[in-house]
A and B are shown apart, each in its own frame.
Chain A
């Protein structure tokens, strides 16, 4: 499973590996039609419609012109096919652009300008500054004498800082001219999508001196779609090309997600299908019986005595075709259309733009907006999601002395400043570690100021803080780095960097002081990764206390330590390290093992505390969403204490006595089991009390609980509204999401970093915060937002409206199809159960696709409650969560309404147009107009807010119906010639229409009014309150006051940026309402409210 890349070998590798042609296309010109049709027909609905359309080609059974089904079917297929084609064409264009880009490649020893698609594995590619990398390369030369180059990897992982890449040691010092002729072999693994790993070896062929195997890591590569920066030129060997690059491999087609609503609609469609089959069977049998008894006597029908063998099937099949409109063909198109509009509304929403970065919200997945309104669990990351991920150095503890405890800012602590001025050894050592134990790159800007490019926010904070304390990290040249302390420059040579991994939880550097030649190991890391490794005599108690104290305040702690190494010890270890670095198998593990051999007997210097501020509006958002009945789980890799503190400060859990936090811990199975059962017991007891009970669990206990006590843990998960899981790994996050999903809860995962990607992809809805940790999470997510507080609007406004609108739209689509279908069924009873269609083909087609689709599409603008009301009463989301607006019983209501309306239209039509008026075309037109009139009023009655668009769509559609039919009536060739003109001249036609409307809508209106006034739902009450004005304003909720108290109590300063007004935009009337504070305590909701209702 390895690939051998022969450098600069023009022949050998051509056939083995693909060229550098990128192709993201799904189709080619030739296979587009079959492949696309195949995909479309893999859906059940489409198969059904195709079957119906094919049956209609049999003229013996078709009640209407086949065009009435084929037309819409082809239209629908054409729409989705052309959408696919357009997308694919755009992908083709962008591929083509990338493929035809000219790059410099060495061919036969000469540099040539060729198209990017002609690069082969093994070619040497030359890049200039700011060039885009065309394929994955192993660096072999750069303009930098030390063999460094800088790349920007934002297209790959979203991280905007510059990363250094360096050439392998074997290529060090090869002359510029000789690079053209270099030969060698690279042994590397087969292509994969891991952009953080590359374990390979390089061996150069003679005449190049170094004949040893030289290890290659990801540090020696530059990957496709990165940009070369701050480096004049660089060249590298192509190792992975085309779609086999790391970027190409990581592209995948995400599984389409199905919303709960889609599932419900599918279920209802299935029910209608069964109903249809029953109707068809009954009518088919009735038809055959009628034929055999009555029709034989009807001499004018001239039934033959002996029919063909399929005769028994003819009438049932006719009815199948007649009833096929029960399942509306337009529903899928309508839903797709409105769903993409919901997504657009999210993209457009100016209240969800992060004004600091200018990033608007974006819905990547346009199909699942309704699910937002049905969320029951939110799994949130902590760092960068709840907090800003902007680290600020706040406090430190050096050799047992606490700095910054009084002022809250160590940089202003005079004691520390004087210690720095006095060159206290401890402090200087501490600052040195702060300044150089990292992977930060200082860059001198033109003005002379030093900018730090750091991969980790913590390192950035530490280096900046050190600089403020006069320990300035000035420059880094290859392996030497310079720091300036109080105007004296100290140089260090970096011997090794032991990188940070999440398993080791620490990083170290081995440096050599250039002045005195001492070799020092500098380390920083999590407390449990440093303090146990202190040398035997050191008292670590103060540090433990410091760590605990800082964690209590919700600060992130790091322990700094160092150790002097002897020359021999270093040399011995260095060999082992080199060997470990060049292994191909389990390299990471081997390196970690070697590292531990060095990282022991530390002299612990101190503890740093870094503050990560809460984002704006996090407590309000969590409070509001919890009132909406959504349960929050915090999944973080951080320490338990820090997590709990953050949870307290953002209303996640309530302090005693209102809330109770239960801990699940333990190192062994038994301990965890006992702890779990204890918590479960408490949970069961308190579940009836209005008390916020939460549990906290750490990664280790979670591992055991999930493995051995899954059932108990699941029960706990269902009982508990809040949970804090700390020290969890990305895969555990995903497991927890999976667990809740398996209990049939709608989950939403929100996170910002690469470690959240799995959880985001696993959840029903993934939300990514496009934050400082890059865009990885935002890319994988269904929705990306700029700040956590937008989640409130995303769920309560967009999710809720989407749910309501789709609920109406889908049920209405069935209703209108059922109305016309019931009329056809009734008509069959007065036409000898022979399957005659009352309506002509054109009308049927236009009814489904046009007349009834347009007005209902305007319902995407409908708002039952204003955004402000929803924000004040988030509990109303419960109607969406519990699926109150689309379920079998609401559907039954619509079903009954369609039956009633069909009876009204049919009975009135056949009685008003009896005897001499009973001409077929006229009667069918009267019935159709009756349906159209009723549709208009039904939509109008169900619309909550009329904008100009709705008026246009509803009444304009009614006018359009007449205009279209007048046009048809003016064409002599059409079957409807003159019909509509004749009807419109008859007073009896208009009188019949008014009668149908009054008789059809009267009972519906009366019933709705009665329920609205005497059995109002919460939505109705709020609607009334909202539109009558007045009382709703006094219904304050408690946030403004309570929040301010907590702000004072909270050890963290949740200070608001100046640009933002102190009151949230959504609740303009709340904060200055005088009554809000008075009534505030009363409106604290019972936490079990939504649960209880749901169980009923």
Chain B
């Protein structure tokens, strides 16, 4: 019906022209915009268009899903849950007192077997479950200005309740820094130390512009309550990469944070011995702790979700396209049949 619009507009212009010389400057100027006659494309949902759209989506999505799934399956991942195993048998009933007691031996050894060949770099993560880094009280309790700049070291107003200790401001202040994860891992392979590179695990942009190179920890973990890890007061904040990683708060209660990188390949069936210091208290809230060694793919770590979702969506689209086609063939319906207009169907006037 595109022919209709131009023809009626032409009529309008024609009569405007014929009358124009006669009079009046009050008349608004003609333009396609003011007359709401901008050329428009008016797509409608024809069966062909809709079915091919669904078909196209399924054709694109299924391969992507397959590729994503392969990428995710290619990632080799070793996950070791250790929070229960690393508590001695006699403390199993009261893990909290074990973890809170300063005198207990927290060391623990774990054996990890490499299932498949892992190419470097191999990322070492710790994974916490049921840990709400996104809790409002927690996520707000930090002072970005203090972290960035030594001159505002006493800017602790947003850090409550962990803003000062013994009357002095804490650097870095706030709940996030205070609760810094403090389990440590030592890896050995065939009785040889497996070097874990802890440099470059944080975002470069954070090191460069969020954490100041002239800021040093001060009065940290000096309060009555000790939260997590202590920091070396002689190391500038921009080099405290564990802290920087930790301070990138996670949005989900289950999250992994990078601990370090192993920069050598691991062969199948190699056994890695991990000596870990189980210091961090997840027992009071039934949190889980896992040690994860993982390679990476172009899509990131091991996560089947995208692949499966793509296959599902692609499959559903294919199914929809197919069923629409079948319905269309079985029960064709002429689009725009005027007999569907009830005022035409009504026999009234005869």
Contacts and interface: CB of A to CB of B under 8 A. Distances in A.
Interface of A: 63, 294-295, 297-304, 318, 344-345, 347-351, 353, 355, 358-360, 627, 690, 801, 827, 830-832, 834-836, 838, 861, 863, 866-869, 873, 875, 908, 910-921, 923-924, 944-950, 972, 977-978, 986-988, 991-992, 994-995, 998-999, 1002, 1005-1006, 1008-1009, 1012-1014, 1016, 1018, 1021-1032, 1034-1035, 1059-1061, 1065-1066, 1068-1069, 1081-1086, 1089
A1021 B123 CA distance: 60
A992 B68 CA distance: 11
A1032 B39 contact: no
B316 interface: yes
Contacts of B16: 350, 353
A1065 B12 contact: yes
Contact of B336 (A950, A998, A1031, A1086): A1031
A1069 B10 CA distance: 13
B337 A1012 contact: no
B136 A835 contact: yes
A613 B7 CA distance: 31
Interface of B: 1-5, 7-8, 11-13, 15-16, 18-19, 22-24, 26-28, 30, 34-36, 38-45, 47, 50, 53-54, 57, 61, 64, 68, 123, 125, 127, 131-139, 161-162, 175, 178-179, 203, 205, 209-210, 225, 227-228, 248-258, 281, 284-286, 298-301, 303, 305-306, 309-310, 313, 316-317, 320, 324, 333, 335-338, 340-344, 346-350
Contacts of A1069: 4, 7
A1061 B4 CA distance: 18
For B8, B22, B250, B343, the residue with the greatest tally of chain A CB atoms inside 10 Å of its CB is B343
B252 A914 contact: yes
Ranked 9 nearest A-B pairs via Cβ:
A1084-B349, A358-B24, A1025-B336, A1024-B336, A348-B34, A300-B179, A1026-B1, A945-B40, A1024-B335
Given A866-B5, A919-B251, A350 B42 contact: no
A916 B256 contact: yes
B138 A1026 contact: no
B305 A863 contact: no
Given A297-B284, A998-B57, A998-B61, A1013 B45 contact: yes
B211 to A, nearest CB: 12
B346 A1068 contact: no
A1086 B320 contact: no
Contacts of A1025: 1, 335-338
Contacts of B301: 915-917
Contact of A1086 (B4, B38, B346): B346
A842 to B, nearest CB: 15
B137 A301 contact: yes
A300 B227 contact: yes
A774 B210 CA distance: 73
Contact of A1065 (B1, B15, B250): B15
A920 B248 contact: yes
Contacts of B132: 298, 301, 831-832, 834
Contacts of B44: 1012, 1023-1024, 1027-1028
A969 to B, nearest CB: 10
Given A1008-B45, A1022-B336, A360 B350 contact: no
B42 A944 contact: yes
A1006 B321 CA distance: 9
A908 B309 contact: yes
Contact of B343 (A359, A995, A1066, A1086): A1086
Contacts of A836: 134-136, 139
A359 B18 CA distance: 16
Contacts of A863: 36, 40
A1012 B45 contact: yes
Nearest to A871: B8
A1029 B15 contact: no
Contact of B42 (A867, A999, A1027, A1068): A1027
A1089 to B, nearest CB: 6
B205 A1085 contact: no
16 contacts: A690-B348, A832-B134, A861-B36, A868-B1, A914-B254, A915-B303, A918-B254, A918-B256, A920-B249, A945-B42, A949-B38, A1031-B337, A1031-B338, A1060-B15, A1068-B7, A1083-B343
Contacts of B254: 914-915, 918
B8 A301 contact: no
Contacts of A920: 133-134, 139, 248-251
B36 A1002 contact: no
Nearest to B34: A348
Contacts of B310: 991, 995
Given A299-B285, A348-B28, A908-B309, A355 B251 contact: no
Nearest to A940: B43
Given A1013-B45, A1028-B336, A1083-B349, A916 B38 contact: no
Contacts of A991: 64, 68, 299, 306, 310
A834 B136 contact: yes
A1002 B317 contact: yes
Nearest to B19: A355
Contact of A1013 (B316, B335, B342): B335
B8 A1085 contact: no
B309 A1085 contact: no
Contacts of A348: 28, 34-35
A1022 B22 CA distance: 39
A1005 B348 CA distance: 37
Given A947-B40, A977-B205, A1021-B337, A1081 B349 contact: yes
Nearest to A689: B348
A1068 B347 CA distance: 26
B336 A1023 contact: yes
A830 B252 contact: yes
Given A358-B26, A918-B251, A1009-B324, A1022 B341 contact: yes
A1021 B338 contact: yes
A85 B197 CA distance: 66
A1068 B5 CA distance: 10
B303 A912 contact: yes
Nearest to B344: A1083
B127 A915 contact: yes
Contact of B309 (A999, A1006, A1061): A999
Contact of B34 (A299, A345, A1061): A345
Contacts of B306: 912, 988, 991-992, 995
Contacts of B227: 299-300
Contact of A919 (B2, B250, B313, B341): B250
Contact of B255 (A915, A994, A1018): A915
